[in-house]
Amino acid sequence: MSEVVLDIQSLTKTVHKQKNIVEDVSFQMQKGEILGLLGPNGAGKTTTIRMIVGLIKKSAGAVFINGYNMDENAQKCRAQIGAIVENPVFYDYMSGWKNLQQHARMAVNPVSKERMEEIVRLVQLEHAIQDKVKKYSLGMKQRLGVAQALLHQPALLILDEPTNGLDPKGIRELRDYLRELADQGISTLVSSHLLSEMQLMCDRVVIMESGRIIDETVIGDLDAADTAEDRVVAFQCGTGQQAQAKKLIESLPGIEILDLEDQQTFVLKMQAEKIPYINKLLVQASIDVYAIERKKTSLEEKFLSLTAADNATLQQEVQ
């Protein structure tokens, strides 16, 4: 039976003039799950996170951590949360180890030296933990931030834009750390605008737009769509041959032309076994085929489609 670590129920934030900047947001997180909270700037992601961790007061709704209501058991709930909201802050003139010690002193429960050493190994900072933080790279600071958030053994880790300023190597390292934590049963809520990275990192994503949830997607469902019987395939033909190819293909049964990407490329939806047939048909018609590429469903494409549709709906409601 799955274990619910985070349960958000109808979370709402109202500001001046009765405007809702977050409205009726509800979702759950399971133990060991990595959940992405996605949305364009101003969608309400950071406001939602701030309400979850208690940095700002919510206007309505409820937050439950491992079954405890944040309103009724705030101390118990916060003891189970480790969070980095925006950029982690350190004493630059102190070493990484002394920063961890300072953070450990503020923990609700005692943090042993053995626990600190364990966390340092987990985030792979053994080689630099005695160096002053001012010498750290952005990636190292992010890892130290994760270490701070994990010191008190939380059940839930919340990271707001944790990849900001990281190079590709640092982003991949962070992704690997979060997956290792998930394997240990720690749930992670990640807010980000890097959609391709979220598709690699997360088990599931919640998409927000204008303060509301507009979609929830299981990443495995996107991958399953790529292995379905119908495939989306791009064919690149010779210059000036696209129209001829389109005319040849559009009359064929069971094949749908989805897009003409440029002057040479067209995208088809078709069964996988028909790909060699289409290739042969084009070659026999003296149409040059330079490339055949299977198009994977991307989180970015779905995100852009959903947010565009939601914006159109909002504009109609205003009118």
Give the pLDDT confidence score for residue 12 in this predicted structure.
Answer: 94
Give the pLDDT confidence score for residue 274 in this predicted structure.
Answer: 86
Q: Is 90 exceeded by the pLDDT of residue 108?
A: no
Q: Is 90 exceeded by the pLDDT of residue 23?
A: yes
pLDDT bracket for residue 311 (50, 70, 90): low
Read off the pTM: 0.73
What is the DSSP code (8-state) at residue 132?
B
Could you give the domains of the chain?
Answer: 4-223 (3.40.50.300), 228-294 (3.30.70.250)
CA distance 19 to 13: 8
Q: Is 90 exceeded by the pLDDT of residue 36?
A: yes
Residue 59 has phi, psi (to 5 degrees) of -90, -30
Average pLDDT, whole number, for the chain? 84
Report helix angle 138-150 to 168-183, nearest 10. 20
Q: Is 60 exceeded by the pLDDT of residue 309?
A: no
Residue 234 has phi, psi (to 5 degrees) of -100, 130
Give the pLDDT confidence score for residue 308 in this predicted structure.
Answer: 63
Mean pLDDT, residues 268-292 taken together: 87
CA distance 213 to 188: 19
Region of poorest pLDDT, from 28-37, 78-87, 255-264: 255-264
Q: Is 60 exceeded by the pLDDT of residue 29?
A: yes
Q: Is 60 exceeded by the pLDDT of residue 315?
A: no
CA distance 199 to 206: 12
Cα dihedral 281→287→291→292 (10° resolution): -20
Residue 64 has phi, psi (to 5 degrees) of -120, 130
CA distance 133 to 141: 7
Q: Is 50 exceeded by the pLDDT of residue 1?
A: no
The percentage of the chain sitting over the pLDDT mark of 90, rounded to a whole number, equals: 31
pLDDT bracket for residue 137 (50, 70, 90): confident
Residues in a beta bridge with 29: 6
CA distance 14 to 24: 11
Return the closest-CA partner of residue 59 out of 73, 44, 78, 43: 44
Return the closest-CA partner of residue 147 out of 114, 175, 111, 123: 123
Q: Is 80 exceeded by the pLDDT of residue 314?
A: no
Q: Is 70 exceeded by the pLDDT of residue 235?
A: yes
Tell me the two tokens of residue 245: 């190819």
Q: Is 70 exceeded by the pLDDT of residue 283?
A: yes
Q: What is the pLDDT of residues 162-182, one digit of tens each?
A: 877 677 877 888 888 888 889
Mean pLDDT, residues 65-71 taken together: 93
